[in-house]
Copies of this chain bind each other. A is one copy, B any other.
Amino acid sequence: MNIGQAAQASGVSAKMIRYYESIGLIPKTVRTEAGYRVYSDHDVHTLRFIRRSRDLGFSVEQIADLVSLWQDRERASKDVKTIALEHVSVLEHKIRELQEMASTLTHLARNCHGDTRPHCPILEELANDEAGAVHLKPDAKFGALGKAPARQA
């Protein structure tokens, strides 16, 4: 099947399939004489594996490890579990950071009248030189918010 069909069947966009090939996450495919990439059901299966890994927030690097463990019949389940649990702890760290941000903001907003008058504790706090300047410093592993790549629906 062509890349478009493989994309539809796997839920990974054609763009991303080419990208994954370019970075070596998936091997180069067979091509038709005209240069079209050709995919098998097996390839689609691998792409689904990759997509489900992405959906769980694994990085491409981690997915490469997972794929290679998946294809290794001699793997130790411990190696997989280690990757998963490391990722969980990263996720939990990130969750805590976001929760701190949200709770700080919620607290500030609760004290803001939100009317037409200018007095606003939110701005006051942001402008406060004394208060926890380093209090909510996000971890290096994550940007604060940042728009990020859209996923296909």
Contacts and interface: CB of A to CB of B under 8 A. Distances in A.
A116 B117 CA distance: 66
A132 to B, nearest CB: 8
Interface residues of A, number: 80
B49 A126 contact: yes
Contacts of A142: 148
Q: How many copies, total?
A: 2
Contact of A95 (B102, B117, B144): B102
Contacts of A15: none
Contacts of A105: 56, 84-85, 87-88, 91
Contacts of A115: 76-78
Contacts of A78: 113-116
A3 interface: no
